[in-house]
Amino acid sequence: MSLDPNGKKATGLIDLADARAIADGVHQNPYAVLGGHKRDAGFIICAFDPGAEAISALTGASTETPLEPIAGAPGVFAGRLKRKSAYRLRARAGETSWDFEDPFRFPPVLGAMDEHLISEGTHRRLWEVLGAHIVIHEGIPGVHFAVWAPNARRVSLIGDFNQWDGRRHPMRGRGSTGVWEIFVPGLSDGAIYKYEIVDRSGNLLPLKADPVGFGSEHPPQTGSMVRNLDGHAWQDDRWMKRRSGLQNINAPVSIYEVHLGSWRRVEAEGNRPLSYLESARQLVDYAVDMGFTHLELLPVSEFPFDGSWGYQPIGLYAPTIRFGPPEEFRALVEAAHAKNLGILLDWVPGHFPTDSHGLGKFDGTALYEYADPKEGFHQDWNTLIYNYGRVEVVNFLIANAVYWLREHHIDGLRVDAVASMLYRDYSRKEGEWVPNAEGGRENLEAIAFLKRMNETVYAECPGIVTIAEESTAFDGISRPTDRGGLGFGFKWNMGWMHDTLDYIQKDPIHRKYHHHQMTFGLTYAYSENFILPISHDEVVHGKGSMITKMPGEGWDKFANLRTYYGFMWTHPGKKLLFMGCEIAQGSEWNHDGSVEWHLLDHEWHRGMQSLVRDLNKAYRTIPALHVRDCDPGGFEWIDHQAEAESVFSFLRFGNEGDAPVVVICNFAPVERHDWRVGLPVSGHLKLVVNTDAQAYGGGGRGPAGNVKTEDVAWNGRTRSAVFSLPPLSVLIFTLEENETEGN
């Protein structure tokens, strides 16, 4: 080969400026140079490997055509074949040689329809085209990578397979979509990779993990990992077909909220957390034995910082590697379904951390986040806020919701921190936020996103449920979108939680002055489809455990907590309890520790566990305690005005033919004899639960069995019964009717 005197061209093969740009890793369109290209004079092959001293093209069974090195462009080689032909490359350095497929000889993988949907922001299967996918392309096995970075000058794939050298695998830009892609032959499951991005000004950015990566390295390492999502033979068809009837507003829904990293640890092995497979046995069996209907897992999307508990995710599409690979996470889900236990995930579309390998300034611009810090920076958490006004970002988030529900058979998503998304002035002072287009404080773009998300997942994934953690009075959280709501299935009842916890923590002598805190929740109990949550947030950051919140000492603390749980499980609304609360754990939650299982050696803690188990059983098996949780016709006060005595009594109703439930709560440490309660029918009352039973650690006081009604008018009703109320207790009865009166 000859060069002209000015060094501008490698005659008939390659422009020297192009070759040098390839060698330097700055070429704007490397696919126009590298690979095979038909030219007038034949078929030109250009290859680049900075570690090679020589490269040849292998064609046919045995033909080897040496490529010539391009002077001034180290590692760049070019040559001519007589005709267009499939080829492989053979490189040599010293005595070593290696054969490989040329990634630049392959055509694009993404199709025109994918490009259109990505640009439009409507690709409901976005994860099927972005990220890393093990494929066979043009008959060759390998991995296809695609990433959205519309403002980048160059995007390169890097990893151990190319010595983390961004010059070796520059990606192909797909024009207006902003997507870059490359097919790398020979890679497979487990390969570690990142993206090296040069911004529009030519600045090299911090290495980025894949936003749509399905796996990650173990923290503190931050690389993405190729994971094969194909081929899992799901065995949960029976559950999937039935689940819509098991998690709707008429079903008993009792949720055990769990942080996988600290539910149970293996002390003999360095206090490590359980793996997904170990949880599939131990956690699932425990939740089933306790009578819960669902597990809710704190976020499992990959996250860099253990102390965030998963609420600051970076790998939104990757089950955290802390407990095993994605296939083992699926095994946990499948094990739960095999035992009729639903799996809910905490999902965090409200913000993301500023870690340099994450989404922040992904292509050198505010791509995923709002550009203005008044819109795009969370002051409370030092995180970034997604730009809900950008169609590609909304698509990324909605597709992620669908991904978890479809690919991992998750039964529902509990959306975190919804209030922070709904309001532009959330936790901000005057002048620190930007009004919406109408001058108001609502984030209209986030509202539109949440509506579209709910519409999409309910349409795409039959039988699932979405739940909002929302702490304000925003109207219509769980109302369908076609009726002006946000479209969630349920909403956490934060008001109920705050009021009742405040009440139960007071010394009983003062409770008569705060009686309304236990009754106020019924004034709005049916404005949304509510879940009553005692979540991780109530037992961390100095708030103490549930048992330490209770007034008094020793036995009184346990009696107060048993009474509170009895009230909670009989109050309208689905139930949620954080791990450890069911055994009256003594310490507040520590994400680096474990539930204090040793406390079960003490009868009071075992008794609390037994009570929660029996409350779940009663809630699940007695229709009146759940079928009308979200229907005002399912509840009626008997007496809510006994402030001086701190006693509440009420009725729960099911459907026609279901026995009503009578609940009497005594929140005073005083035993009350001959306490008469008005009833709607004559018959007998069958005792279901007495929270003061000795089996629960109580004093064993109160009725021993059935109680008969009397034809004595009381509480505005023509019939009544007399009870002995144990101190600090809840009595739950089914009312076996002889006749009905008005219900």
Helix (H, G, I), strand (E, B) or coil at 685: strand
Q: What is the Cα–Cα distance from 155 to 153, expressed in whole angstroms?
A: 7
> Which among 439, 418, 455, 436 is positioned nearest to 124, based on CA atoms?
455
Active-site option among 114, 196, 375, 416: 416
Looking at residue 602, its amino acid is H
Query: Mean pLDDT, to the nearest integer, of 440-463?
Result: 97
Q: Regarding beta strands 707-708 and 490-492, do their DSSP bridges make them parallel or antiparallel, or are they unpaired?
A: unpaired
Residue range 219-246: average pLDDT?
96
Q: What is the mean pLDDT of residues 440-457?
A: 98
pLDDT of 737: 83
Residue 484 tokens read as 């002006």
Among 70, 76, 67, 57, CA closest to 7:
70
pLDDT digits (tens, 9 = 90+) for 169-213: 999 999 889 999 999 999 999 999 999 999 999 999 999 999 999
Residue 102: per-residue pLDDT: 96
| Cα gap 282→284, rounded to integer Å | 6
Q: What is the pLDDT of residue 373?
A: 96
Return the closest-CA partner of residue 734 out of 707, 712, 716, 694. Answer: 707
Residue 556 has pLDDT above 70, yes or no: yes
Give me the catalytic one of 469, 499, 588, 639: 469
Q: What is the mean pLDDT of residues 520-547?
A: 97
Give SS3 for 195. strand
375 is a catalytic site residue: no
For the chain, give me the number of helices (H) and strands (E)? 14, 39
Q: For residue 740, what pLDDT is reported?
A: 45
> What is the pLDDT averaged over residues 292-297?
98
Cα→Cα distances 727→93, 557, 667, 722, 723, Å:
86, 12, 7, 16, 12
Structural domains of the chain ordered from first start: 9-101 (2.60.40.10), 112-225 (2.60.40.10), 629-737 (2.60.40.1180)
The H or E element that residue 648 is part of is strand 647-652
Note the maximum CA span of the chain. Answer: 117
Q: What is the pLDDT of residue 60?
A: 82
State pLDDT tens for residues 626-670: 999 999 999 999 999 999 999 999 999 999 999 999 999 999 999
pLDDT beyond 70 at 7: no
With pLDDT > 90 as the criterion, what percentage of the chain qualifies?
94
Task: Tell me which residue has tokens 């949907």.
Answer: 117
469 is an active site residue: yes
Which residues are 734's β-sheet partners? 661, 686
pLDDT at res. 24: 95
Structural contact between residues 187 and 144, judged by C-beta atoms closer than 8 angstroms: no
Per-residue confidence (pLDDT) for residue 13, from 0 to 100: 84
Model confidence pTM above 0.75: yes
Q: Predicted confidence band at 97 (pLDDT cuts at 50, 70, 90)?
A: very high
Residue range 125-143: mean pLDDT, rounded: 97
What value does the mean pLDDT take over residues 238-265? 98
Task: Supply the pLDDT for residue 444.
Answer: 97
* DSSP codes of every residue in 466-535: EEE---S--TTTTS-GGGTS---SEEE-HHHHHHHHHHHTS-GGGGGGGTHHHHGGGGSTTSS-EEEEE-
pLDDT above 70 for 739:
no
* pLDDT above 50 (res 283): yes
Task: Specify the residue for token string 């972005």.
Answer: 130
Tell how far CA 620 is from the center of its chain. Answer: 26
Phi, psi for 263 (deg, rounded to 5)? -70, -50
For 524-563, b/e burial (b = at least 16 CB within 10 A) is: ebbbbbbbbbbbbebbbeeebbbbbbbbeeeeebbbbbbb
| Per-residue pLDDT at 279 | 98
219 class by beta-carbon count within 10 Å (0-12 exposed, 13-18 middle, 19+ buried): middle
Cis peptide before 220 (omega within 30 of 0): yes
Spatial CA neighbour of 443 closest among 486, 481, 381, 406: 486
Q: CB under 8 Å, gap of 24 or more: what pairs does 605-610 form?
A: 605/697, 606/697, 607/558, 607/562, 607/695, 607/696, 607/697, 607/698, 608/558, 608/561, 608/562, 608/565, 608/582, 608/583, 608/584, 608/696, 608/697, 609/290, 609/582, 609/583, 610/695, 610/696
- What confidence score (pLDDT) does residue 84 get? 86
Say if residue 52's pLDDT is above 80: yes
Q: What is the mean pLDDT of residues 131-155?
A: 97
Residue 39 has pLDDT above 90, yes or no: no
- Output the pLDDT for position 386: 98
- Asked if the model's pLDDT at residue 231 lies above 90, the reply is no
Q: What is the dihedral of CA 497, 611, 249, 743, to 10 degrees?
A: -100
pLDDT at 742: 42
Q: Are 38 and 83 in contact (CB under 8 A)?
A: no
Per-residue confidence band for 6, with pLDDT thresholds at 50, 70 and 90: very low
**pLDDT of 8 over the 50 cut:** no
Contact 530, 575 (CB under 8 A): no
Q: Give 277: exposed, middle or buried? Use CB within 10 Å, 0-12, 13-18, 19+.
A: middle
> According to the 3-state scheme, what is the secondary structure of 66-111?
ECEECCCCCCEEEEEECCCCCCEEEEEECCEEEEECCHHHCCCCCC
Residues 182 and 116 sit within 8 Å (Cβ to Cβ): no
* Residues 734, 528, 313, 354, Cα dihedral to 10°: -140
Contact partners, residue 418, CB within 8 Å, separation at least 6? 350, 450, 468, 469, 470, 477
Q: What is the mean pLDDT of the chain?
A: 95
